[in-house]
Amino acid sequence: MAEVAVQSERRGEGIVISDDWPGYSLDLFSYPAHYSGDLDCVIIPHGVIMDRTERLARNIMDELGDHDIVVLCVLKGGYQFCADLVDRIKALSRNSNHTIPMRVHFIRLKSYLNDQSTEDLHILGAEDLSFLAGKNVLIVEAIVGTGKTMKTLLKHVEAFGPKMIKVAGLLVKRVPHSSACVPDYVGFEIPNRFVVGYALDYNEYFRDLNHICVISESGKLKYKI
Predicted confidence at residue 179, as pLDDT, reads: 66
Predicted confidence at residue 3, as pLDDT, reads: 41
Predicted confidence at residue 112, as pLDDT, reads: 53
Read off the pLDDT band of 220 (50, 70, 90): very high
Entry field: residues in the chain: 225
24: β partners? 42
Q: What pLDDT digit, counting tens, does each position of 39-93 carry? A: 999 999 999 999 999 999 999 998 887 788 999 999 989 999 999 999 999 999 8
Give 72's Cβ-side CA count (13 Å radius): 26
Helix (H, G, I), strand (E, B) or coil at 69: strand
Evaluated on CA atoms 132, 156, 139, 212, the torsion sign reads positive
Q: How far apart are CA 200 and CA 49, in angstroms?
A: 13
Q: What pLDDT digit, counting tens, does each position of 167-202 carry? A: 999 999 998 776 667 899 999 999 999 999 999 999
The 10 Å Cβ neighbour count of residue 26 is: 17
Answer yes or no: are the C-beta atoms of 183 and 172 closer than 8 Å.
yes
Is the pLDDT at 214 greater than 60? The verdict is yes
Q: How far apart are CA 55 and CA 88, in angstroms?
A: 9
Is the pLDDT at 16 greater than 80? The verdict is yes
- Distances 167 to 83, 139, 147, 184 between C-alpha atoms, Å: 15, 5, 12, 5
Answer yes or no: are the C-beta atoms of 160 and 129 closer than 8 Å.
yes
Q: How far apart are CA 198 and CA 190, in angstroms?
A: 15
More confident residue, 28 or 62: 28
- Which DSSP state fits 103? E
pTM for the whole structure: 0.88
Architecture of the structural domain at 47-191 = 3-Layer(aba) Sandwich (3.40)
Q: What pLDDT digit, counting tens, does each position of 127-170 carry? A: 778 899 999 999 999 999 888 888 888 988 999 999 999 999 99
Domain map (residue ranges) of the chain: 47-191
Predicted confidence at residue 109, as pLDDT, reads: 80
